[in-house]
Structure 1
């Protein structure tokens, strides 16, 4: 930008200027920006034995291996320990992930246990969701993207 190579709606852009790629014409060296990738949100039932990262210097299995075929590079939103299993969100939407993780949003983060009195199965009137091969079925319009024998994530 400092070199004057970026223009917004025909005007040379300056530091601190805001632009909306959906409404403004943004050019770099006279060429338009590449279109934004479609946002991908994955709910992964992380199994034990996988680290919540995209690569591991110790050669351990990563959650990236479980979602490699989702069609986009996605990043974990938060972490679960190597020996933990449970819900892990992955996305390519950095603004959404930052919104969830930033302390100013004041999201309540709670870890529950199937042995807790708060577990839904122990609440009066709770009904289990339909299952497929012993795993909860996906909401309408979602698809399974897991590589394990059982579906582990939904997109």
Structure 2
């Protein structure tokens, strides 16, 4: 069984506890929480995360900037943004600047959030498998090309 690393960032401790409770029955999910985006980014430099959930409005770095920076560190992580205020500009920035996978308002529906994270994990797995298969095909093509050159008659 694959264990998935989930990073959660929110400046409110009670939100982190609620999100941790939401995911407690997901046996293969290992959750790490941070109240400061800078600390979470520092951790992301030393550990790979499969999915990231962050608040939009935080005191040190906003969620969109955080997800954008995280995207440069870990482009394959599924990125989910939580916000207390629905705003079209925020939604557009989350999608266009941070490539957010999903966008949830507070309070969130636990089942929908779990499903979104699960879907993000499935998509990430498929992307990684596709990348590995594509590399395997390229490697095999190089081997074939080499064999053809070796068997080709010299002129």
Q: TM-score, normalized by length of structure 2?
A: 0.26
Higher fraction of helix: 2
The alignment's TM-score, normalised by the length of structure 1, stands at 0.26
